[in-house]
Amino acid sequence: MNANFKHPLLPPATIGIVGGGQLGQMMALSAKAMGYHVGILDPTPQAPAGQVADFQITAAYEDTAALMELAKRSDVLTYEFENVDEDALIAAQRYAQLPQGTELLHITGDRLNEKQFLHDHGIPVTPFAPVNDQQSLNYALNRVGTPAILKTVTGGYDGHGQADINEAQPSDDALALLDKPCILEARQEFRTEVSMMVTRSAAGVVTTFPLVENRHQHHILHTTIAPANVQQTVHEMARKMAVSIANALELRGVLGIEFFVLPDDTLLVNELAPRPHNSGHYTIEACNISQFEAHIRSICGLPIPAITQTSPAVMRNLLGADLTLARQHLIDHPEWHFHDYGKAAVKPQRKMGHVTVLNEDIDSALTSLALLKGEQ
């Protein structure tokens, strides 16, 4: 991991963000509010983050020359997604700081590396085994059992790159994944999915956000309820695990941790995200600082305050045509905190924006958002 800054990186220094989607956009908005300059690398002209940044370099992520240009024009680099070329980032450190380092990407960008890292550090995970071909799949099924989920170790998101295996004889969908390295994971009968954002300062102080409940549709996050309605012991257990993981990673920036709550109120870690996370969007309105400001503070070496949630909240993703529907109903819902990511094209199952509602009564907040039926 990179050495800590000797001094905090103060505004108007330039922050370079690899990735121009909505996470980069919200990072950039936080950074700009603090007086930083922001540059973006993204292949899409006028990407969501590029619309609010000082400059955008429009080039492919694997374009090493473009990444070097971003580094030369920046004081510090960060990223908004996992699949960034590690070697290129290492080379870019000749020109700009990379406080998150590349080890974080090496671990979290590969499902097998991630599960092994967590297991090695005493963090409970579902049983798993590596899979490279039909023979190793048979071995993994004997070891892990069914029902199970076969996943590619890299590249999958929102349900892509995975297949359920309910019997000893895998389906064609599962076998089709074997052209890439995979991992087989035992499928858990969990009660609730929850997540927690965690960050760590340059001085090594770990700060956690509240634990939240996540509801998915078609493998895509649909609704987040903050805080999660689970036993206090579950909140405390999640925080303890988050602190352990952040310290083991020597974390800089923000990390999202997804958990399964099992029927006996124990936790398994399902997945890590080395960046701000969809389930942390509620923090923009509902906490004293957002996950995005915490990320900027951490990578720039600034102190991070203890997190307080000022109101219970519900965050609802806007997928595809949901965005148009939400726009039409804005006039009737002053309680909505409406976010439009500014993407050029509306596509089914694509995250186009989100709405957050603050309310002491979670049921009322859910009712407020109920007219957004969601894509079927």
The CATH code of the domain that includes 135 is 3.30.1490.20
pLDDT at 358 (0 to 100): 98
Q: Are 224 and 212 in contact (CB under 8 A)?
A: yes
Residues with Cβ within 8 Å of 1's Cβ and at least 6 positions away in sequence, in order, are 101, 103, 104, 250, 252
pLDDT higher than 80, residue 87: yes
Rounded mean pLDDT of the chain? 94
pLDDT at 168 (0 to 100): 73
Last residue of a domain, one of 161, 186, 211: 186
CA atoms within 13 A on the CB side of 294: 33
Residue-range definition of the domain harbouring residue 140? 127-186
Mean pLDDT along residues 217-221: 89
For the chain, the domain total comes to 3
Q: Sorting pLDDT into bands at 50, 70 and 90, what band is 1?
A: very low
- Same-domain pairing of 172 and 213: no
Predicted TM-score of the model (pTM) = 0.95
In a domain, residue 275? The reply is yes
Mean pLDDT along residues 82-90: 87
Q: Sorting pLDDT into bands at 50, 70 and 90, what band is 205?
A: very high
In a domain, residue 373? The reply is no
Mean pLDDT along residues 183-206: 97
Percentage of the chain with pLDDT > 90? 87
- Same-domain pairing of 89 and 142: no
pLDDT higher than 50, residue 75: yes
pLDDT higher than 50, residue 342: yes
Burial of 146 per CB tally in 10 Å (0-12, 13-18, 19+): middle
- Same-domain pairing of 209 and 277: yes
Mean pLDDT along residues 88-109: 95
Tens-digit pLDDT profile for residues 54-70: 999 999 998 999 999 99
- Same-domain pairing of 266 and 325: yes
Tens-digit pLDDT profile for residues 4-42: 456 899 999 999 999 999 999 999 999 999 999 999 999
> Hey, what are 200's tokens?
């760590």
pLDDT at 376 (0 to 100): 37
Last residue of a domain, one of 186, 205, 228: 186
In a domain, residue 63? The reply is yes
- Same-domain pairing of 59 and 140: no
- Same-domain pairing of 172 and 270: no
- Same-domain pairing of 90 and 223: no
Mean pLDDT along residues 341-348: 93
- Same-domain pairing of 226 and 242: yes
Please report where in the chains the tokens 């490279």 appear, as a residue: 132
Q: Sorting pLDDT into bands at 50, 70 and 90, what band is 296?
A: very high
- Same-domain pairing of 211 and 233: yes
Strand partners of residue 220: 217
pLDDT: is 53 or 155 the higher one?
A: 53
pLDDT higher than 70, residue 88: yes
The CATH number of the domain holding residue 253 is 3.30.470.20
CA gyration radius for the chain?
Answer: 20
- Indicate the residue type of 48: P
37-42 and 14-18 strand pairing:
parallel
In a domain, residue 145? The reply is yes
- Same-domain pairing of 236 and 170: no
- Same-domain pairing of 285 and 363: yes
In a domain, residue 265? The reply is yes
In a domain, residue 356? The reply is yes
In a domain, residue 251? The reply is yes
- Rounded Cα gap, residues 210 and 144, in angstroms: 33
Task: Output the CA–CA distances (angstroms, integers) from residue 307 to 29, 58, 112, 175, 360, in the order listed.
Answer: 20, 36, 32, 45, 18
Mean pLDDT along residues 78-92: 90
pLDDT higher than 60, residue 368: yes
Last residue of a domain, one of 80, 98, 116: 98
pLDDT at 4 (0 to 100): 43
The CATH number of the domain holding residue 51 is 3.40.50.20
- Same-domain pairing of 214 and 305: yes
In a domain, residue 118? The reply is no
